[in-house]
């Protein structure tokens, strides 16, 4: 009995020291990272996308599936949109750096989807080169996320959103590697993502060089034309058969589709127009494909409230403009109801 | 659910609390069984019915095998072998078998298996492990090595499904587990404490060692289109470190989780990279599998009872099948074949080397032993390339560079790989030390303050190493 009690005390003391030392060390690490200006952010992955996608199925006509790339991912606030459209449930499915046609096709195939697809895409993103960019996300959704992975991912999102300890770039081994081999530490990021996958960009962050970002975007678009030459307008339109089928499938079930071409500015806009001039591509897409099939197409620069918003890096809005941007999108969605 | 997940943390705490409440009541075993099934269903609920069905069939066959006549015993055993290996073959090897039949006879079998509408069952997690565990029960029943008392379905199902070892071992023998079940062990503070300590050490190996130190270099180096002598060896080094930390980490978590419930699971790793010779390596690496293969394959094939040639044949077949057990690909077979070859060479040269070693003075004998250790380690690393390679062409490319010290060394080695190499040296040093000092056993004798600080440090390292979570490598087997 005495030995049992001794054993218990031995382990109680051990556990107390484990907890105290661990909490102290982790608190120090967290504090150190915060002092360097880092902010906690969710690390997006395929499971998180698949879990959000699975929410769409149970929402019926109240679902607003937000598809697209970084512009809408970091621009639109799903919670504010939900407040502006009572009864509707926006679900963020945009993916940074990946055009969304694979996700649109997935929604079109899904008999349970009867809501609204808000598709942020430009003329370049509609071309055949970029059809499968979100296929990995769709495949993960179809394969399914197991119950344990789902619970883990949900808790992990909350953990990452609250603590920098969840940031892989600032992890122990990368930090040790940088210390030992004299590499520069990572600069605090200006982009953050919330557990519902909605992001925001803080262009007032001290480490953001918006001029360099804008130059990179424009150069990136021009370089991409070398690898993926823009198809001739007629060919480009002819290759949009799958998009037509997707629109029709969603419309046949009573769903709605709104294509939204986000704004760009400066050299970036010029580069966009150089490869895919609006009149020959987007406008024809809207006129010959979208409208005849019962969908809607919006060119953001035609909307005064959006074109008035500043694009510090020539492509994305600042987090301070998210409310105005979201309110405008809400108005557009009300109009198509 | 993987041990390195929040879901397991919640599950483990809940089950420990439930288990403590159920001590001494008939509800304990059902609680552990249902918890184990929930653990398994956490991956994919559709896997669960097959686990229950196959373990129920083996339980029923085991009862038949214990009481049947000699002739009927053979038939029941055959049925057990066919059902267990048939399920394994269907889920794990059907595409491999079909593609090989296609390449020989042009049957078109693979195409029909992959055709739309064909059954597309994914490989259930841990099927190789629980199949071997069930099979060993039936073979032991056939051999009359099990207790004569009838085993309840509950006990047998818990033996197969007990969550700490269900998915990736250690492979437990019924004869080792059943007496514990019958005793219905109660976990005391020391067992719970030791269990949690082992889980922390196991998670440290997995999260910090395998996922943060070794895996990024492994992925980078194996994905590289070009290799030189140095990067080829770094690739082998990275994967050697990754697979040890991954699997030994998992095994420690499994042993620790079982210990928290008062159960003992066999040791699965004992400083394998400190092995001197390949027999020694296999007594230290994945011990529960190598002893399973020895008892249920090597010895029935004749073992070393029928002369040298038959021994070599038995060794080769055992290692080839052991390789194939790991995965349905020729690279795994090649890995097994290499180890078979190593073991045969060791048996051929062993007596001569032992005589030479015995004649030397102490310093020379120690030096020879160190050389033997180094050769063992390098050849084990060489074989790991086949285990990790995506195909034979990649394995051949890397192995060719490992054998070409004069190859031009122009490839820049990344900082990650340099840190990985340092980590590998630390790992080897620790294993060499463990060979002499039994580090894990010594941990328990440390004063609470030192042990608490050490484990607190390891736990902090786990928490500040989020990285990109990777599945345990052995889950795919």
| pLDDT classification of B474: cutoffs 50, 70, 90 | low
In chain B, which residues have their Cβ closer than 8 Å to the Cβ of A12?
189
Alpha-helical (H) ranges within B294-329 are 307-326
Instruction: Give the mean model confidence (pLDDT) for residues B363-392.
Output: 93
Q: Which helix (H) or strand (E) holds B11?
A: helix B6-22
Please indicate whether residue A158 or residue B466 has the higher confidence score (pLDDT). A158
Provide, as residue numbers in chain B, all residues whose Cβ is less than 8 Å from the Cβ of A144. Answer: 44
The A residues from 144 to 163 touching B (CB cutoff 8 Å) are 144, 146-149, 151-152, 155-156, 159-160
Residues in A closer than 8 angstroms to B189, CB to CB, are 4, 7-8, 10-12
B281-320: per-residue pLDDT in tens? 999 999 999 999 999 999 999 988 888 899 999 999 999 9
Q: Do residue A14 and residue B463 have CB atoms under 8 angstroms apart? A: no
Q: Which superfamily does CATH assign the domain made up of A46-144+196-336 to?
A: SGNH hydrolase (3.40.50.1110)
Q: Is B169 left (phi over 0), alpha (psi -120 to 50) or beta?
A: left
CB-CB: which of A12, A17, A149 is closest to B449? A17
> Which contiguous run of DSSP H or E holds residue B287?
helix B287-293
pLDDT of residue A5: 58
Q: What's the CA gap between B393 and A57, in Å, rounded?
A: 44
Q: Which residues of A touch B449 (CB under 8 A)?
A: 13, 17
C-alpha separations of B442 from A319, B81, B445, B446, B447 in Å:
55, 42, 5, 7, 11
- Return the pLDDT at A1: 41
Question: What confidence score (pLDDT) does residue B466 get?
Answer: 84
Nearest CA-CA partner of A101 in A227, A246, A228, A221: A246
- Contact (CB, 8 A) for B331 and B386: yes
The whole-number pLDDT of residue B468 equals 67
**Inter-chain CB proximity A17 and B193 less than 8 Å:** no
Collapse the DSSP code of A117 into the 3-class scheme (helix H, G, I; strand E, B; otherwise coil) and give the result. Answer: strand
pLDDT in tens, A288-304: 999 999 999 999 999 99
Write A220-225 long-range contacts (CB < 8 A, 24+). A221/A124, A221/A268, A221/A271, A221/A272, A221/A275, A222/A271, A222/A274, A224/A124, A225/A274, A225/A275
Which of the residues in chain A have pLDDT under 50?
1-2
Q: Using CB atoms and an 8 Å cut-off, which of residues 173-192 of chain A contact chain B?
A: 173-174, 176-178, 180-181, 183
Neighbours of A313 (CB within 10 A): 24
Distance CA B38, CA B36 (A): 5
Residue with the two structure tokens 């294993």: B431
What is the Cα–Cα distance from B301 to B295, expressed in whole angstroms? 10
A171 and B466 in contact by Cβ < 8 A? yes
Residue in A248, A15, A300 with CA at minimum distance from that of residue B456: A15
The residue among B114, B74, B70 whose CA lies nearest residue B94 is B114
The pLDDT score that the predictor gives to residue B115 is 66
Q: What is residue B411's predicted lDDT score, i.e. its pLDDT?
A: 73
Hunting for tokens 């069939």 — which residue is that? Answer: B57
pLDDT score of B184 more than 70: yes
CB contact under 8 A, A12 and B465: no
CA distance linking residue B234 with residue A119, whole number of Å: 46
Asked if A46 is an interface residue toward chain B (Cβ–Cβ < 8 A), one would say: no
Residue A66 φ/ψ, nearest 5 degrees: -95, 105
Give the separation between CA B402 and CA B382, rounded to whole angstroms: 8
Helix (H) or strand (E) holding A277: none
Stretch B325-339: mean pLDDT, rounded? Answer: 93
Domain(s) labelled CATH 3.40.50.1110 in chain A stretch across 46-144+196-336
ipTM: 0.86
> What was the pLDDT predicted at A2?
45
CB under 8 Å to B309, separation ≥6 — which residues?
none
Q: For residues A214 and B341, what is the distance between their CA atoms, to the nearest angstrom?
A: 60
Neighbour tally for A92: CB within 10 Å: 25
Q: Helix, strand, or coil here: A320?
A: helix
Per the annotation, the verdict on B286 as an active-site residue is no
* DSSP tag of A60: G
- B1, B3, B6, best to mutate vs chain A, most A CBs in 10 Å: B6
């Amino acid at each position: 009995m005495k030995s049992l009690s001794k054993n218990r005390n031995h382990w109680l003391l051990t556990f107390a020291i484990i907890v105290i030392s661990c909490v102290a060390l982790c608190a120090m690490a967290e504090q150190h990272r915060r002092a360097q200006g880092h902010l906690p952010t969710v690390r997006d992955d395929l499971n998180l996308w698949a879990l959000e996608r699975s929410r769409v199925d149970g929402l019926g006509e109240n679902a607003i599936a937000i598809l697209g790339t970084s512009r809408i991912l970091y621009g639109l606030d799903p919670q504010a949109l939900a407040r502006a459209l009572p009864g509707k449930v926006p679900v963020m499915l945009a993916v940074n750096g990946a055009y969304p046609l694979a996700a649109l096709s997935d929604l079109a195939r899904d008999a349970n989807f009867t809501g609204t697809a808000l598709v942020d895409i430009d003329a370049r993103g509609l071309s055949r080169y970029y059809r499968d960019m979100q296929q990995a996300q769709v495949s993960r959704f179809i394969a399914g996320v197991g119950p344990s992975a789902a619970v883990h991912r949900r808790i992990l999102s909350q953990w990452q959103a609250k603590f920098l300890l969840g940031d892989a770039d600032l992890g122990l081994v990368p930090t040790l590697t940088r210390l030992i081999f004299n590499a520069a530490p990572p600069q605090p990021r200006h982009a953050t993502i919330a557990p519902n996958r909605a992001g925001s960009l803080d262009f007032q962050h001290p480490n953001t060089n918006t001029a360099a970002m804008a130059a990179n975007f424009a150069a990136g678009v021009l370089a991409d034309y070398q690898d993926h030459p823009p198809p001739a307008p007629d060919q480009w339109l002819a290759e949009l058969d799958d998009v037509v089928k997707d629109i029709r499938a969603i419309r046949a079930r009573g769903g709605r589709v709104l294509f939204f071409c986000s704004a760009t500015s400066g050299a970036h806009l010029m580069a966009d127009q150089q490869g895919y001039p609006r009149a020959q591509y987007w406008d024809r897409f809207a006129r010959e494909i979208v409208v005849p099939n019962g969908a809607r197409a919006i060119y953001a620069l035609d909307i005064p409230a959006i074109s008035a918003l500043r694009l510090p890096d020539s492509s994305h809005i600042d987090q301070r403009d998210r409310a105005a941007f979201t309110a405008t999108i809400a108005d557009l969605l009300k109009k198509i109801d | 659910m993987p041990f390195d997940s929040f879901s397991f943390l919640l599950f483990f705490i809940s089950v420990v609390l439930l288990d403590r409440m159920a001590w001494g009541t008939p509800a304990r075993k059902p609680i552990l069984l249902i918890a184990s099934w929930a653990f398994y269903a956490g991956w994919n609920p559709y896997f669960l019915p097959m686990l229950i069905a196959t373990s129920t069939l083996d339980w029923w066959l085991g009862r038949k095998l214990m009481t049947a006549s000699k002739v009927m015993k053979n038939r029941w055993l055959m049925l057990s072998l066919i059902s267990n290996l048939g399920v394994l073959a269907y889920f794990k090897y059907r595409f491999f078998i079909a593609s090989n039949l296609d390449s020989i006879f042009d049957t078109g079998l693979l195409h029909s298996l992959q055709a739309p509408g064909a059954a597309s069952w994914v490989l259930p997690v841990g099927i190789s492990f629980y199949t071997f565990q069930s099979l060993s029960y039936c073979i032991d029943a056939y051999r009359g090595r099990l207790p004569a008392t009838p085993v309840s379905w509950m006990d047998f199902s818990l033996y197969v499904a007990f969550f700490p070892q269900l998915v990736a071992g250690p492979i437990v023998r019924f004869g080792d587990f059943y007496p514990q079940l019958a005793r219905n062990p109660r976990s005391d503070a020391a067992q719970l404490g030791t269990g949690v300590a082992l889980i922390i050490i196991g998670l440290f190996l997995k999260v910090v060692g395998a996922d943060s130190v070794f895996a990024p270099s492994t992925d980078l180096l194996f994905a590289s289109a070009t290799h030189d002598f140095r990067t080829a060896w770094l690739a082998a080094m990275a994967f050697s470190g990754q697979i040890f930390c991954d699997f030994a980490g998992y095994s420690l978590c499994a042993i620790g989780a079982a210990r928290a419930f008062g159960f003992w699971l066999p040791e699965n790793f004992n400083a394998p990279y400190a092995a001197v010779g390949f027999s020694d390596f296999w007594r230290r690496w994945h011990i529960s599998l190598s002893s399973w293969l020895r008892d249920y394959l090597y010895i029935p094939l004749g073992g070393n009872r029928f002369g040298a040639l038959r021994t070599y044949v038995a060794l080769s077949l055992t290692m080839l099948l052991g390789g194939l057990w790991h995965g349905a690909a020729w690279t795994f077979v090649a890995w097994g074949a290499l180890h078979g070859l190593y073991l045969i060479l060791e048996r051929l040269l062993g007596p001569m080397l032992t005589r030479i070693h015995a004649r030397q003075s102490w310093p020379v004998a120690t030096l020879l032993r160190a050389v033997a250790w180094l050769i063992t380690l390098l050849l084990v690393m060489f074989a790991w390339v086949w285990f990790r390679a995506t195909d034979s062409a990649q394995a051949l490319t890397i192995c060719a560079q490992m054998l070409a010290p004069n190859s031009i060394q122009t490839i820049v080695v990344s900082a990650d790989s340099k840190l990985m190499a340092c980590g590998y040296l630390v790992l080897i040093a620790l294993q060499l030390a463990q060979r002499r000092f039994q580090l894990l056993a010594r941990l328990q004798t440390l004063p609470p303050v030192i042990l608490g600080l050490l484990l607190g440090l390891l736990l902090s390292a786990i928490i500040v190493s989020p990285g990109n979570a990777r599945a345990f490598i052995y889950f795919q087997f």
